[in-house]
Amino acid sequence: MIESQINKLSKKRIQLSTFKMKFSTKALISLTVTSLLTSTTNAFTQSPYTKYTQHVSQTRRHMALDMPDMPDMPATPPEASNTDVPALQSRGGAPVNVRYSDFIKMVDGDKVEKVTFSSDGTKLLGVNADGVRLKIDSLPNDPGLLNQLTEHKVDVTVLPNNDSEGGFAELAQSLIFPAVLFAGLFFLSRNAGGGGMGGMGGMGGMGNPMGFGKSKAQVQMVPDTGVNFEDVAGCDGAKLELAEVVDFLKKPEAYSANGCRIPRGVILDGPPGTGKTLLAKAVAGEAGVPFIAIAASEFVEMFVGVGASRVRDIFAQAKKNAPCIIFIDEIDAVGRQRGAGFAGGNDEREQTINQLLTEMDGFNGNPGIITIAATNRVDVLDQALLRPGRFDRKITVDLPDFKGRTRILGVHARGKPLEPDVDLEAIARRTPGFSGAQLENLMNEAAISAARQDKLSVGWDQIDGAVDRLMVGLERKGGTLGQLQFTKELVAYHEAGHAVVGALMPDYDQVQKITIIPRSNGAGGLTFFAPQESRLESGMYSRQYLESQLAVALGGRLAEEIIYGEENVTTGASSDLQNVANIAKRMIKQWGMSDKVGWIALDTPQQGGPFMGRSMGQRGTTWGGKIMGEVDAEIERVVNNSYLTAKTILTDNRDLLDHLANVLVEQEVVSAEEFQMMLVEFSPKVVEYNVIGENRNRDKLPFQAIMADP
């Protein structure tokens, strides 16, 4: 009987070839044998699902008979199972899962155009007359399905079996070399990353060799930096220029009508901590366009060409999202002058900067992209990078002035409960030369000090202590309790000498605070002076001020000499003497403040060593012995006469010196107000300014017994 059924099915298979059915031999035999093995009486055994459906239908009829109150259900005609075709709706073109019974109804209703069977005959994928794709993940054992599909002229396809002899061996041989290569790269990446869990990195890292050339920067479509221009204070000029850039992005048509071209690049230059990165965040928050932020050091890798690839990738992302802003922080890490090294260039860095130059203003250009870069070493950048067309604007973000510091302190005082005695303007006057980052740190340190003392508000004492801590270090525990009385008195006289000379020298800075409390930086005591704002901002110092500075620096050593004698002076003035030598040398050799030497610069200021190789290859000017001898004599003359000036002041005002030293020993700290009251009480006279004399006055200096003859 089995052989006869196989013969019948084979004949049917030959007839079905006229309908272009693509059944494989294995799939057909598999269906036939399965049907014969599962039933010995009838190949068209009814499926369990059909039995279950009939059982449920009978149960529903019985329930209707047992409940007389229910209305009679209308009888369903026998043809309803064939005409009631379910409607299918596809979401996004994805195949729709259908039940097998609904699929049979669709076939009987000629709603199926094409059917594809899997190679093992267990899954089905079809297309109905409306073009909707349908699928059945688990086909029941229905040998009559093939006949039913043939009768309704459905295009039937069976996927071929991909297994072939020798295929696996050939595949394995083709994968051996790539597997060995990737295994070697993985091993090297783990060793370079230190092994352990850190061996596999993210995209672009050592753990993913295929991502070397990809930039790790993410595009922020709607930047949420939490910073706008209102949160940036102390740099009004920079804010104004960057506000124009933001306006360019918001209203480009207003500028295009006048023939304007949007700046392609803006470079922010200034000392560390002045708010360059904060300004870039404010631009991102104000502009409302996609923003990409990356550090220039991320372009530099150990493999040549990786940095250039990342530059291309980041600009490609920006072009897809134009208009867009790219912010490169610390661009001097990759944008330094090419060919400036003593032993040759850096191929990786130079390829990176070449690619950056091309992307910013190359043959194709970068319409709609504004590049903002920040650096505190604009002097080392390559000139090709700074030219118009790449970085059209150079914005200097300088240290804030008095008003700027006051506004910055107001910004960072938000959220901190300040006591009524806190005056932000007084803090700003005491912190000349502080950057925005330093002022933020100052307010934070004051708040930490208040919390350490279990206070709920920040007072003047905490802020004053924070200023001292940032400038000269933390106070040592115990203060002067562990010092001998002689040591305390010696330090008090030393600091009193600085203060008295500084107060009585013409046109010098005002004394702000005097203390003999030791500090963590090694200082036994300190005298604070408040520099004039105009002098500090301009950077111009007069000859009178410099000569006064020499006398003030020597005041501490002179006080020790006057009180304790020449034989008992200490090393406490070591840093003062270094400052004296530096100032006197620069006055004569750099600033032309000597009539004998003349108005020439015999020395150049030290600019650091970014291009040490270039400076080593350049020959400096060599001066003769005669003029250098005159330089030494002039330096000696300036220092000697400054020493005599300070000694005269302290000798003539010995009462004020003793009183100030005694007060320091008692209370350790003297404020500016207390010192001004002492000056009123003792009525000292300010020294009249006169140019330092021409004589060197060696005979009036101490240590005459051990000095060499002139």
Residue 374 placed within a domain: yes
Residue 59: the pLDDT is: 39
Distances (CA, A) of 295 to 97, 111, 161, 325, 443: 51, 61, 53, 14, 28
Full strand arrangement of the beta sheet holding 669-671: 526-530, 510-515, 669-671
Cis peptide bond N-terminal to 323, omega within 30: yes
Q: What is the mean pLDDT of residues 228-254?
A: 82
Please classify residue 7 by burial: count the beta carbons closer than 10 Å to its beta carbon, then call 0-12 exposed, 13-18 middle and 19+ buried: exposed
CATH number at residue 316: 3.40.50.300
Above 50 in pLDDT, residue 323?
yes
CATH number at residue 425: 1.10.8.60
Residue 165 placed within a domain: no
Above 80 in pLDDT, residue 132?
yes
Above 70 in pLDDT, residue 55?
no
Query: Which of the four pLDDT bands, split at 50, 70 and 90, describes residue 32?
Result: very low
Instruction: Report pLDDT digits (tens) over 172-206.
Output: 767 777 888 878 777 776 655 444 444 333 434 44
Least confident of 68-72, 286-290, 318-322: 68-72
Query: Which of the four pLDDT bands, split at 50, 70 and 90, describes residue 2?
Result: very low
Q: Are residues 329 and 433 in the same domain?
A: no
Q: Are 343 and 613 in contact (CB under 8 A)?
A: yes
Above 80 in pLDDT, residue 687?
yes
Query: Which of the four pLDDT bands, split at 50, 70 and 90, describes residue 607?
Result: low
Instruction: Report pLDDT digits (tens) over 391-442.
Output: 888 888 888 888 889 999 988 898 899 998 888 988 998 888 888 899 999 9
Residue 163: the pLDDT is: 54
Above 80 in pLDDT, residue 710?
no
Q: What is the mean pLDDT of residues 313-325?
A: 83
Q: What is the mean pLDDT of residues 125-143?
A: 85
Residue 614: the pLDDT is: 52
Residue 497: the pLDDT is: 95
Between 62 and 547, name the one with better pLDDT.
547
Instruction: Report pLDDT digits (tens) over 635-676.
Output: 999 999 999 999 999 999 999 999 999 999 999 899 999 999
Q: What percent of the chain has pLDDT over 70?
A: 73
Q: Are residues 153 and 88 in the same domain?
A: yes
Which of 450, 472, 494 terminates a domain? The answer is 472
Q: Are residues 67 and 85 in the same domain?
A: yes
Cα separation, 126 vs 123, in Å, equals: 10
**pTM score, whole prediction:** 0.61
Residue 132 placed within a domain: yes
Residue 21: the pLDDT is: 40
Please classify residue 662 by burial: count the beta carbons closer than 10 Å to its beta carbon, then call 0-12 exposed, 13-18 middle and 19+ buried: middle
Q: Domain limits at 670?
A: 485-605+625-706
Q: Are residues 439 and 375 in the same domain?
A: no
Residue 74 placed within a domain: yes
Residue 647: the pLDDT is: 92
> Residue 583: how many CB atoms within 10 A of its CB?
20
CATH number at residue 692: 1.20.58.760
Above 80 in pLDDT, residue 171?
no
Given CA atoms 661, 663, 667, 672 in this order, what sign does their dihedral have? Answer: negative
Which of 396, 423, 455 terminates a domain? The answer is 396
Q: Are residues 423 and 550 in the same domain?
A: no
Q: Are residues 562 and 461 in the same domain?
A: no
CATH number at residue 72: 3.30.720.210
- Count: domains in the chain: 4
Q: What is the mean pLDDT of residues 256-261?
A: 79
Contacts 24+ apart (CB under 8 A), 427-430: 427/463, 427/467, 428/402, 429/402, 429/530, 430/467, 430/512, 430/530
- 298, 495, 547, 668: the catalytic one is 495
Residue 615 placed within a domain: no
Q: In the Cβ-directed half-sphere of 250, how many Cα atoms lie within 13 Å?
A: 12
Least confident of 80-94, 403-417, 536-550, 582-596: 80-94
Above 50 in pLDDT, residue 91?
yes
Above 50 in pLDDT, residue 27?
no
Residue 595 placed within a domain: yes
Residue 176 placed within a domain: no
Coil/strand/helix, residue 649: helix
Q: What percent of the chain has pLDDT over 90?
A: 18
Between 570 and 612, name the one with better pLDDT.
570
Above 90 in pLDDT, residue 141?
no
Least confident of 198-207, 345-354, 596-605: 198-207
Q: Are residues 29 and 121 in the same domain?
A: yes
Q: Are residues 553 and 467 in the same domain?
A: no
Q: What is the mean pLDDT of residues 446-474?
A: 89
Q: Are residues 293 and 379 in the same domain?
A: yes
CA 3 remoteness from chain centre: 79
Residue 564: the pLDDT is: 92
Q: Are 589 and 638 in contact (CB under 8 A)?
A: no
Above 90 in pLDDT, residue 332?
no
Establish whether 495 is a catalytic residue. Answer: yes
Residue 172 placed within a domain: no
Highest mean pLDDT, choosing among 153-167, 227-241, 634-648 = 634-648
Cα separation, 657 vs 682, in Å, equals: 10
Which of 113, 134, 158 terminates a domain? The answer is 158
Residue 41: the pLDDT is: 39
Q: Are residues 325 and 285 in the same domain?
A: yes
Strands 133-136 and 124-128: antiparallel
Above 60 in pLDDT, residue 280?
yes
Between 567 and 691, name the one with better pLDDT.
567
Highest mean pLDDT, choosing among 126-135, 328-337, 434-443, 474-483 = 434-443
Q: Are residues 302 and 364 in the same domain?
A: yes
Q: What is the chain's mean pLDDT, rounded?
A: 76
Angle between helix axes 543-564 and 625-652 (nearest 10 degrees) is 60
Above 70 in pLDDT, residue 446?
yes
Q: Are residues 113 and 242 in the same domain?
A: no
